[in-house]
Chain A
Amino acid sequence: MHKGVDCRLAMTQLWDFLDQELTEENMVAVRIHLEQCSACHPHAAFAQQFLTALSRCRCADPMPETLRTRVLDTLRNAGLMS
Chain B
Amino acid sequence: MESGSQPVPSPVREDFDREVLAWMDDVYRFAMSLTRDASKAEDLVQETYLRAFRSWQTFQPGSDARRWLFTIARNAFLRGLERERHHVSLDDGDPDALGAIQHYAGLVTDGTDQLLSRVDLAPALTDAIGRLNEPFRSAVVLVDVEGQSYEEAAAVLEVPIGTVRSRLFRGRRQLQEMLAEYARDAGFAAARAPERGGDDA
Query: Which residues of chain A in 10-53 are interfacial with respect to chain B, using CB atoms and an 8 Å cutoff?
Result: 11-12, 14-16, 19, 21, 42-43, 45-47, 49-51, 53
The answer to whether B146 touches A47 (Cβ under 8 A) is no
Q: Complex formed: what's the CA distance from A80 to B7 in Å?
A: 5
Q: Complex formed: what's the CA distance from A54 to B113 in Å?
A: 14
Query: Which residues of chain B in 40-78 are interfacial with respect to chain A, using CB atoms and an 8 Å cutoff?
Result: 42, 45-46, 49-50, 53-54
With A58-B33, A59-B29 as contacts: A79 and B5 at CB distance below 8 Å: yes
B186 contacts the other chain (CB 8 A): no
The answer to whether A67 touches B122 (Cβ under 8 A) is no
B121 contacts the other chain (CB 8 A): yes
The answer to whether A21 touches B49 (Cβ under 8 A) is no
Select which of B50, B116, B122, B149 is within 8 A of A78 by beta carbon: B50
Select which of B25, B100, B116 is within 8 A of A63 by beta carbon: B25
The answer to whether A49 touches B143 (Cβ under 8 A) is no
The answer to whether A75 touches B116 (Cβ under 8 A) is no
Interface residues on A, range: 35 or more
Between B13, B143, B144, B165, the greatest number of chain A beta carbons within 10 A of the residue's beta carbon is seen for B144
B190 contacts the other chain (CB 8 A): no
With A59-B29, A67-B45, A81-B13 as contacts: A54 and B125 at CB distance below 8 Å: yes
A8 contacts the other chain (CB 8 A): yes
A interface SS class = helix
Residues of A near any B CB (own CB < 8 A): 7-9, 11-12, 14-16, 19, 21, 42-43, 45-47, 49-51, 53-59, 61-64, 67-68, 70-71, 74-75, 78-82
Residues of B near any A CB (own CB < 8 A): 5, 7-8, 10, 13, 21, 24-25, 28-29, 32-33, 38, 42, 45-46, 49-50, 53-54, 97-98, 100-101, 104-105, 107-108, 112-113, 116-117, 121-122, 125-126, 129, 140, 143-147, 149-150, 165, 168-169, 172, 175-176, 179
With A15-B168, A56-B122, A58-B146 known, 16 other A-B pairs at CB within 8 A are: A11-B101, A14-B100, A16-B165, A21-B165, A43-B101, A47-B104, A54-B145, A57-B126, A58-B145, A61-B32, A64-B38, A68-B21, A71-B49, A75-B49, A81-B13, A82-B13
